[in-house]
Amino acid sequence: MTSLWSRVGLAFALAGLTQVGAAAIKSADWTQPDKPSPSRQAPKPAVKLAQAAVPAQPRAAPAPAELRDRINTLGREFDGRVGISVKSVDDGWSVGWKADELYPQQSVSKLWVAITALDAVDKGRVDLDDTVTLGRSDLTLFHQPIASKVLGNGGHRMTLSELLTEALTKSDNTANDKLMRSVGGPEAVRDMLRAKKLGSIRFYDGERSLQSRIAGLTWTQSYSVGRAFYEARNALPMSVRRAAFNRYVEDPYDGASASGIANALGRLKQGELLSPASTARLLRTMGNTRTGPNRLKGGLRPGWTVSHKTGTGQVLGPVQAGYNDIGILTAPDGSSYAVAVMIKATSAPLPTRMTLMNNVVRAVIQQHDRSKGTASL
């Protein structure tokens, strides 16, 4: 009898040792992260809800249904591929039509060069009073009023402040590219876009490289004077030009979404991108823009203002790739709205395009009146 119970006890003891050994082996598996089990992963440690919680963000007011419907109607009825975005800077809501696609920016991208330059000023890397000399090697193409001074004098000196003003208010391509190179080149602009998390906004290598590639050409400095660029472009087979043009329309090298631009404008207005002084300078300069007087600006009512930047692309046959205006509308009571109208491709007459932009602005003003309980004029 004693022998039987001894044998039973020994069996239980051996079973216990087997379980302990298995547990020890299993524990060893989980405590050697450099040798993970191929068939499973260690469970993640529990995290208390209080530790994992993300601070609640203030919720934007609901988007006004009347404005949303009006913007959708304007976008749907336009004869062309267009993106529209409207954002209330004060209340946070936004509405849009195909606002998340990428659209050719063209000279709208000069805004990002300006922000890069002013950001460099804020960080003490450059001063707007710094001077540079423009020579023949700095000339670009298309719209460059400065070219006459450079060619007439064999060179022309300007401050960075003057370059910024010419680039934004007159959309001078040579001023823009010189400003870009003076603050670090295209990579500095792309770094700024990434650092400030501006989202769906691309930047190419400046006007010369961009416009040449759209046309199916590679930039050479001889294109900068007279009609050399046009002659080289016209000499290309139409199949080459069309392929390059269509490639750009479908996936623009300088593409940006209307919603991304409107969000960036809203953050600019709220002082999130630049110092107060640089923000005020940039918005004031954009308020003096001379290009596109009948785009967004044409829809303003007396008492309203707009700080804006236009963009106009190349034409092939009846189609233009890029016809844009983006800006910040400010009401007499100080309320502000970021607006972006980006036309990817259209053959609609210029007055039709301008009317679309006018009507977007008018719709914003009417919505503002409704929200404030004032009569629309």
- Residue 80 reports pLDDT greater than 60: yes
pLDDT of residue 131: 98
Residue 337: helix, strand or coil by DSSP?
Answer: strand
Q: What angle do CA 347, 255, 264 make, to 5 degrees?
A: 115
Average pLDDT, the chain: 87
pLDDT tens digits for range 5-48:
344 343 433 334 334 333 333 333 333 333 333 333 333 333 33
Distance CA 88, CA 367 (A): 11
Distance CA 337, CA 91 (A): 9
pLDDT tens digits for range 264-290:
999 999 999 999 999 999 999 999 999
Helices 258-269 and 276-286: angle between axes, nearest 10 degrees? 120
pLDDT of residue 61: 80
The whole model's pTM is what? Answer: 0.83
pLDDT of residue 374: 65
Q: What is the 8-class DSSP label of residue 350?
A: H
H-helix or E-strand spanning residue 14 = helix 2-30
pLDDT tens digits for range 283-324:
999 999 999 999 999 999 999 999 999 999 999 999 999 999
Residue 354: helix, strand or coil by DSSP?
Answer: helix
pLDDT of residue 31: 31
pLDDT of residue 172: 98
pLDDT of residue 372: 87
Task: Provide DSSP, 267-330.
Answer: HHHTTSSS-HHHHHHHHHHHTT--S-TTTGGGGPPTT-EEEEEEEE--EETTEES-EEEEEEEE
Residues forming beta bridges with residue 84, ordered by sequence position: 97, 341
pLDDT classification of 103: cutoffs 50, 70, 90 = very high
- Residue 91 reports pLDDT greater than 90: yes
Structural domains present in the chain: 65-372 (3.40.710.10)
- The tokens for 132 are 């540079």
Residue carrying structure tokens 């460059």? 144
- The tokens for 100 are 């998340």
Task: Provide DSSP, 150-171.
Answer: HHHHT-EEEEHHHHHHHHHHS-
Rounded percentage of the chain residues whose pLDDT exceeds 70 = 83
